[in-house]
Amino acid sequence: MSQMERIYKLDRLFRRKRPPSRREILDTFEISPAQFKRDLEYMRNRLGAPITFDNPGGGYKYASDEFNLPGLWFTEREVYSLLVMHSLLEQLQPGFVQEQLGPFRDKLRALLGKSGRGAKSILERMQVIIAPQRPIDGEHFQAICDATLRRKKLRMRYYSRSRGAESDRIVSPQRVIYYRGNWYLDGWCHEKQAMRRFAVDAVRLASVLEEPACEIEAETGQEGYGIFFGPAEHIAVLHFDAEAARWVAEEEWHPQQRASVLPDGRLQLEVPYGNPQEIIMDILRHGPHVEVVQPASLRSAVAETLRQAAEKYDQPKRSAGSAQSIEAARTARVR
């Protein structure tokens, strides 16, 4: 039994009409006198419990009936889990939960005390290594999450990288997504009258409106590959050599993918996709260990990308000094 579970049961014993004796407590919980002493000190010093010894009754009780254990009472494992959840979210988005959950986190840490399995020890063993990500504005992110959870419309000033321009949007937020190191907002754009996926780092201004957000039913089976909207209109057939197959065979690229082992040990992976942008990036990270078999359009796109990349290495690399000399000579000719 953990210390927290004992304290919860001790609390009930101390409220009995007949106070429990020291011997009764030791026998009930099968603990040593030293452990019981630590439990009493914890309840008195950390939880503020007014525990006293009742000489006439020969047992322990509360000096005041007004004392109550904290309103939220957790087992030791539950406290560990909550602290880890808080730590992971704080690492994914620093500052997001600090203001709202900081005091709660401090109380959880106090419950664990300074034992070898205290909060500091636990959190040092649970870390998130963040992939390269685009920084976001904390206030904008807070407004987006607030509107999403409270089901309110959101006014945004949004920068579209594809068009290189900003625009004002009124959005009914549906969900916030963390994907591959970056945050996205799925929302109904009232200007376009369609669902859109917004990169949170491209939000320049954000404010929550008091108008209720429109509820849009999520479409099932319409997602292609990765983060992009759209139906899965194509099937990518990929062949991975035996070396890469040992890893790829355990990966899920898409919920509806199909994998099979070829006679020569290679792995054939069939992946539905719509927009080819993201699946091309994932194919390229496997370098020479993968070949696109079908469709021809995807095979050509990957081949062209690799060709353009190879061209950058065909010419000898010029040093910074030689590049500066060439630029100086070009400037002199202009003069």
**Nearest-angstrom CA–CA distance, 19 and 6:** 16
Nearest to 274 by CA among 261, 256, 249, 248: 256
Q: What is the 3-class SS of 224-255, one letter each residue?
A: CCCCCCCCCCEEEEEEECHHHHHHHCCCCCCC
Domains 3-62 and 138-212 are alike in CATH topology: no
**Nearest-angstrom CA–CA distance, 7 and 12:** 9
Nearest to 57 by CA among 16, 114, 104: 16
Judged on CB neighbours under 10 Å (0-12, 13-18, 19+), 23 is: exposed
- Written as six digits, the tokens of 185 are 């907002």
Strands (E), 6-136: 51-54, 59-62
Which residues share a beta bridge with 157? 168, 205
CB 224 within 8 A of CB 274: yes
Nearest to 115 by CA among 74, 82, 67, 79: 79
User: Which residue type occupies 81?
Assistant: S
pLDDT computed for residue 194 by the predictor: 92
Nearest to 302 by CA among 275, 273, 280: 280
| Angle of CA points 218, 221, 222, to nearest 5° | 75
**Nearest-angstrom CA–CA distance, 221 and 227:** 14
Q: Which residue has the tokens 């990349």?
A: 309
Give 315's DSSP letter: S
- pLDDT by 10s per residue, the chain, length 335: 677 778 888 998 998 889 999 999 999 999 999 999 999 998 998 888 999 998 888 899 999 888 887 755 566 677 777 777 777 777 777 666 666 666 666 766 666 654 445 556 666 676 777 767 788 888 899 899 999 999 999 999 999 988 899 999 999 999 998 888 788 999 999 999 999 999 999 999 999 999 999 998 865 444 566 766 667 889 999 999 999 999 999 998 988 899 999 999 999 999 999 889 889 999 999 999 999 999 999 999 999 999 999 998 887 766 555 555 555 555 554 44
CB 52 within 8 A of CB 61: yes
Fold of 3-62: Arc Repressor Mutant, subunit A (1.10.10)
Q: Which residue has the tokens 């899920």?
A: 252
pLDDT computed for residue 222 by the predictor: 47
DSSP H/E element including 261 = strand 258-261
Count CB-CB contacts under 10 A for residue 111. Answer: 21
Nearest to 69 by CA among 107, 31, 32: 107
Where are the domains positioned within the chain?
3-62, 76-123, 138-212, 220-335
Torsion angles phi and psi, residue 163, rounded to 5: -100, -15
Q: Which residue has the tokens 């099937």?
A: 235
138-212: CATH number: 2.30.30
- Written as six digits, the tokens of 125 are 């063993």
